Each structure stands twice: as C-alpha cells, then as structure tokens.
Amino acid sequence: MRRAGSSLASAANGAPATGVQRQARLATLSDGQSVTLRLMGPDDREKMLVFARSLPPDDLLFLRSDITQSSNVDDWIRNIQEGATVTVLAEISDSLVGYASVHANQALWTRTLGEIRMQVGQPFRGRGLGRLLGAEILRAGQERGLRKMAAMMTPDQAGARAAFEKLGFQIEALLQSWVVDRNGRPRDLIIMSQTLDTGIKNAAA
C-alpha cells in the first residue's frame, strides 16, 4: 500500500470533535487504482447523498437510518461534530466510492465499545476497498480510546463478512430471524467483533 502521509484527517471542512486528527492519505486497491482516504466533515453532505442514492436497495435494507434522506445525513454530520461518530470516506477522482463509520454508545457501561457500519459502491467491490476502510476505522477507534468494535450483517453479505474476517473479526453470535427484509421475511443476523489491539496488528499485516 502506498501512503501519502501517515494518517487520516478531517478535510478542510472542519475537524470533528472526536479526538481523531489525521492527514488524508492515498492508498492502492488490489488492481492498482489509487484511492484517497479521509475523514468526513460537514461539506460532504451532498456527496454522501449522491453516493447513498446510487446504492442498490438491498444495501440500504438493514441500515439504522435511511441515508438517502437529507435529514438523516444531517443527523449523521451532527453526530460527527459532537464526537459520537467517526466516518472515513474513500474517494476516487473526487467521487465518493465508499465509507466506514464507527458509532460509539455514550452510555457509561458501553462507552469503550463501538459499532462499525460500512458501505462500498458496487463497482469497487472485490478490489480490497472494504479491507482498507475497515483497517482505517479500526485505527480511528483505537485513537479515540475504544476497546472493542462490532459489526453486524446478514449471512448472505459474504463480501462484508470476508473483509471483516481478514481484519481478524470473529463471529460472536448468530441471531435467528432477528431482522426483517423489505418483503417482510425474517432474516438471521451475524454479530462479529474485534478487540482493537489485535485488529490493529492484523490490519498492519
């Protein structure tokens, strides 16, 4: 992986209050294409809406909120500014092609735990972008003092599961009929987790 700078940062659109202050950097996909990784800020609102609205309906099915709606993206940006969320964006030719977020629960007893949410645009799947984003968000979580991170997905999301497994995530639980799809059918839910010291070692390998 080729790097431009040693860390990630908020763009010039205002640094989020997360304790994560890093320089944008270049990375390389498995096919040799360069991608810029940086932190999301307020000026990325429209870019995120364009990206979200380009995703297939099934990709949006199990998100916590409908990010094709501007009000929900506004809430997302507000969470970033308040320090509850860190989001890493992946850009190619100034277009958003993927993101990874870590959302920290503010409750005292779960304050060192974070949940990863990640989406990669269809044309860029199978090219290593998910692993790059996962590694960056693991580092961001460690920088803000999180101890453990979790990711949730359905069993048929094989690409996401493979990306997290390469980062050292392991299955914690399989919850049967835990979520419902657009047609009202129950679906299983997988919960994977990683302790951050181990995750950082795997990401650097």
Question: Which candidate, 56, 85, 58, places its Cα nearest to that of 73?
Answer: 85
Range of the domain at 34: 25-204
Dist CA 118 CA 134 (whole Å): 8
Question: Rounded mean pLDDT of 87-114?
Answer: 83
Nearest to residue 50, comparing CAs of 81, 73, 19, 34?
73
* pLDDT(61) > 80: no
Q: 3-class SS at 30? A: coil
Confidence band, pLDDT 50/70/90 cuts, at residue 15: very low
* Token pair listed for 125: 């799947």
The answer as to whether 48 is a domain residue is yes
In a domain, 191, yes or no: yes
Number of domains in the chain: 1
Q: Judge whether 17 lies within some domain.
A: no
- Residue 71 confidence (pLDDT): 95
Residue 135 DSSP SS3: helix
The radius of gyration computed from the CA coordinates of the chain, to the nearest angstrom, equals 16
Residue 148 belongs to a domain:
yes
Is 20 part of any domain?
Answer: no
Domain of 139, CATH number, reads 3.40.630.30
pTM of the predicted protein model = 0.80
E strands, the chain, in order: 25-28, 34-39, 85-92, 95-104, 113-120, 148-153, 170-180, 186-195
Return the pLDDT at 95.
Answer: 94
Query: Are 153 and 188 in contact, with CB atoms under 8 Å apart?
Result: no
- Residues 165, 161: Cα–Cα separation, whole Å: 6
- What's the mean pLDDT when you consider all of the chain? 82
Query: Is 5 buried (19+), middle (13-18) or exposed (0-12) by CB count in 10 A?
Result: exposed
Nearest to 62 by CA among 117, 13, 110: 117
> pLDDT (tens digit, 9 = 90+) per residue, 107-148?
544 567 888 989 999 999 889 999 899 999 988 888 878 888
Whether 1 is in a domain gets the answer no
CA distance 159 to 127: 11
